[in-house]
Amino acid sequence: MDMLIALAAACLYFLALGLVVPGLTNNNGIKTKPVFFSAIGAIALHLLLLKDLILGGVGQNLSILNVASLISLMIAIITTTAMLRMRVWFLLPVVYSFAAINLSAAIMLPGAFITHLESHPQLLLHISLALFSYSTLMIATLYAIQLAWLDHKLKSKKSLLINPNIPPLMMVERQLFKIILVGNGLLTLTLITGLIFIQDMMAQGKLHKAVLSFLAWVVYSTLLWGHYQKGWRGRRVVWYSLVGAFLLTLAYFGSRFVKEIIIGG
């Protein structure tokens, strides 16, 4: 049953993707409603499946693939909602592809990392902040990639820039820094709650996560300072965003990936 739900969700994600891509390569308008309702159907099935995968047994199964699938679901929800007000078409193919892939991987490569968050509500708060901050900053990474792509097209004077489905460069840049500001604020709260609520950090092997997360926070904070105080833009902004995303991904998934996927323990 879970496999059928995953297949249906993946098909709906790819249907939404298929409705978006043609509009990015020509000047025809993208019809919002078909994309939106296809994505909503996929998200509903994705949510139903994750509920079973994470909450279906004793405790909560926060295996690396379940968490990756949950993050991709959160990003899909945010960007699908944003579709109604902003031109986020460039982001959607990437978002929906990763959501479908992560969902399929969670089904085909089941893992187990059982927690009991009901006994530790403060840890639930910390994990929730971490998930929201990571999801927000990953959306910022997609915006940074879009910014680099638009900048390249502008410099090469490609006619694709007149496509009404593609947002103006300056609009993307403004939205990028708003998203980074929110994401870095959530990351700040994540670091603070981690220091307060996670005891024996070194004994639990959490120190490297804290260090990498803090380095990512330094990168994003420096980027925000450089933009608002020094007027940083262009490639420097893109590289800082990518480095911050890399450090944060390494912090959240590095050791878990080695243990659960490579070693299989």
Angle between helices 32-55 and 2-25 (to 10 degrees): 150
At 166 the pLDDT is 80
Burial 50-76 (b: 16+ CB within 10 A, else e): beebbeeeeebbbbbbbbbbbbbbbbb
pLDDT, position 183: 96
The residue with greater pLDDT, 108 or 164, is 108
DSSP 124-167: HHHHHHHHHHHHHHHHHHHHHHHHHHHHHHHHTT-GGGG-TTSP
Give yes or no for residue 136 having a pLDDT over 90.
Answer: yes
Q: pLDDT tens-digit profile of 181-205? A: 999 999 999 999 988 877 665 555 5
Position 253 scores a pLDDT of 83
**Predicted local confidence at residue 258, as pLDDT:** 56
pLDDT greater than 90 at residue 141? yes
The amino acid occupying position 181 is L
Amino acid at 92: L
State how far the alpha carbon of 62 is from the alpha carbons of 55, 59, 136, 210, in Å.
Answer: 9, 9, 20, 19
What is the predicted pLDDT for the residue at 237? 93
Mean residue pLDDT of the chain comes to: 87
pLDDT at 262: 54
User: So what's the pLDDT on residue 233?
Assistant: 87
What number is the average pLDDT over the span 138-155?
89
Average pLDDT, integer, range 98-105: 93
Average pLDDT for residues 164-176, to the nearest whole number?
87
Asked if residue 80 lies in contact with residue 139, where contact means CB atoms within 8 angstroms, the answer is no
Integer Cα distance of 14 and 97 in angstroms: 7
For 7-18, the pLDDT digits (tens) are 999 999 999 999
32 three-state secondary structure? helix
Q: What is the mean pLDDT of residues 237-247?
A: 95
| Mean predicted confidence (pLDDT) in 139-168 | 80
pLDDT tens per residue, range 204-232: 557 788 889 999 999 999 999 999 999 99
Give the pair of three-digit tokens for residue 180.
Answer: 């980074």
DSSP per position, 88-129: -TTTHHHHHHHHHHHHHHHHHS----EE-GGG-HHHHHHHHH
What residues have CB less than 8 Å from 123, skipping those under 6 apart?
115, 117, 197, 198
Instruction: Centre a 10 Å sphere on the Cβ of residue 155 and count the other Cβ atoms it contains.
Output: 8
Can you state the percent helix, strand and coil of the chain, rounding each to 5?
Answer: 80, 0, 20
Domain map (residue ranges) of the chain: 1-113, 120-265
Report CA-CA distances (Å) from 72 to 98, 149, 189, 222, 248.
Answer: 7, 22, 21, 27, 15
The two structure tokens encoding residue 110: 């089941």
Average pLDDT in the 126-151 region? 93
* Cα dihedral value 244, 250, 251, 252, nearest 10: 110
**What whole-number distance in Å separates Cα of residue 58 and Cα of residue 112?**
11
Q: How much is the average pLDDT of 91-105?
A: 93
Mean pLDDT, to the nearest integer, of 63-69?
90
Highest mean pLDDT among 45-59, 102-116, 220-234: 220-234
